[in-house]
Amino acid sequence: MLILGATLAPARTFFLNIKASPLHHNTPPLHHLASSESSPSRSSNMSPKGPPQIPDRVSSLLAPAHREELQVLTKRKASTMSIVSIKSTPEEFINAKVEALQAEYDLGDTQETYYKDALNEGSITEAQFQEASKWIPNRQELDAIQGNLTVLKRQRKFIEDDLAEVPPPQNPHLDDAYISLMIARIESACSKAPKSGTIINSQKLKANVLEYYAGSRTTEDSQIEEYCMLTGWYAPLPKTPVKAAHLVPRSLEGEDLNYLFGITGGEQVLSSPENSLLLHKNIEEALDSSEIVFLPVIDQGMAIDWKLMVIDQSKLKKSITERYKWGDLHGKCLQFLNNNRPAKRYLYFRYVLSYLINKKRDPSSVEWAIDKNTKGYMWATPGPYLRNSLLHSLARRISDHYLPEALFQQTTFSDLPYARNKNQADEQQYITTLAHKIGLLDKKASIAPADRNQKFENDKAAA
């Protein structure tokens, strides 16, 4: 993903310093983000600014051809801005937003060039140039616009998905939702993404996840406690058992995630707090080895909670922590302390991965995925999360089984016009590598249940 931090000056991009949560969670007030067209404010914004108001006494001094070109670019910018406001679907809105940002950049870049040329040629004075500069984006602001465009293009799939989840009463306000969402996206882009093949800094990741979910607190005696979303708070002595559990496994790399999710810059998925849950280490191990899964709790077609399901229910009487047995946690919903949530796309990927791995272990072991009341699959929240062809091929390669149609019918996408696609031969070759990585995940993370229970008893005895 784009690294913007080195190019965006804090004074020009105040929105990067706003602690914004993902869409329709703990979003900041949006009215103070609206662009101002009445004064030459230097505050950068996610929405394109209005047409420039360079005084005629200065603009008239430019060469006629330059004036004419700037008039064309100004009209184009005004036109694209008006189109954004009338688009109702996320796809239409993003298309219009890309056009508007590009028009804003082209106008500002051309203005900067022509007025500097006029100054160098003596057509305008230094004072006139400074007057015009009040209405022209400087280079740092132009870099910010270009950076917004890059993030929007590289993460377009995720942004469209998240905008599509805006609750119906807020649908007319896509521009407000977009501002809030892009603040979070660009904040994420400004954190340095790990290079492919490098080890993620686990301590830094955990600190980010704790901050994202408000999972850390200081007690009256100045001890820092950490929070498990299923079992509660833990003191740090001798060592906190709370882990930042990955949903998309660390065995996958940027290129894998680019193709799987239809984005660019997929390496940052692994370091995103939206890809993590705060869990007790024993629960994290069970998640990594596909012994548990999280399913959506649906109300009026919306996922309102996420409940834990123990896949092998013969283990319900087994202890998982000092205070809890698996039976205590089976069916329990994740308890969040703020409005931030994990991304549905990552929860869905973990769900499918758990299905495939358990299908491979024992073809009869996936009855947990069937809702006995509806006879349908437990994942009932639609969304184009994963690439259809890749998911099918992966299922056949890992489990020698086809995915049931109900498992993917409303949760996958085909080729995207703005994403990198592969031909069938290349995809089949790529599947081999991807399946190997997921197979390694299963092999490496899988601790036999008996071994895990014995491990807990040993830890308890040692304590």
Q: Hey, where are the domains in the chain?
A: 14-190, 204-462
Which range has highest mean pLDDT (46-60, 313-327, 370-384, 418-432)?
313-327
Candidates 256, 243, 266; CA nearest to 193 is 266
Answer whether 0.75 is exceeded by the pTM.
no
- Supply the pLDDT for residue 277: 97
Structure tokens at 22: 């993902």
Phi, psi of 367 (to 5 degrees): -65, -25
pLDDT > 70: percent of the chain = 53
Q: How far apart are CA 104 and CA 46, in angstroms?
A: 11
Residue 39 has pLDDT above 60, yes or no: no
- Supply the pLDDT for residue 390: 60
Return the DSSP state at 137. -
Residues in Cβ contact with 430 at an 8 Å cutoff, skipping those fewer than 6 apart: 259, 422
The pLDDT confidence band at residue 303, using thresholds 50, 70 and 90, is low
- Supply the pLDDT for residue 282: 96
Candidates 452, 399, 449, 437; CA nearest to 249 is 437
Structure tokens at 9: 């000056």
One-letter amino acid for residue 303 of the chain:
A
- Choice among 261-275, 280-294, 303-317 with the minimum mean pLDDT: 261-275
pLDDT, average across residues 206-232: 94
State the pairing for strand pair 412-413/386-387.
Answer: parallel
The pLDDT confidence band at residue 443, using thresholds 50, 70 and 90, is very low
Helix axis angle for 139-154 and 156-164, nearest 10°, is: 70
pLDDT, average across residues 389-402: 57
- Choice among 20-29, 199-208, 227-236, 301-310 with the minimum mean pLDDT: 20-29
Find the farthest-apart pair of alpha carbons in the chain and give their distance in angstroms, rounded: 86
Residue 379 has pLDDT above 50, yes or no: yes
- Supply the pLDDT for residue 247: 92
pLDDT, average across residues 58-72: 90
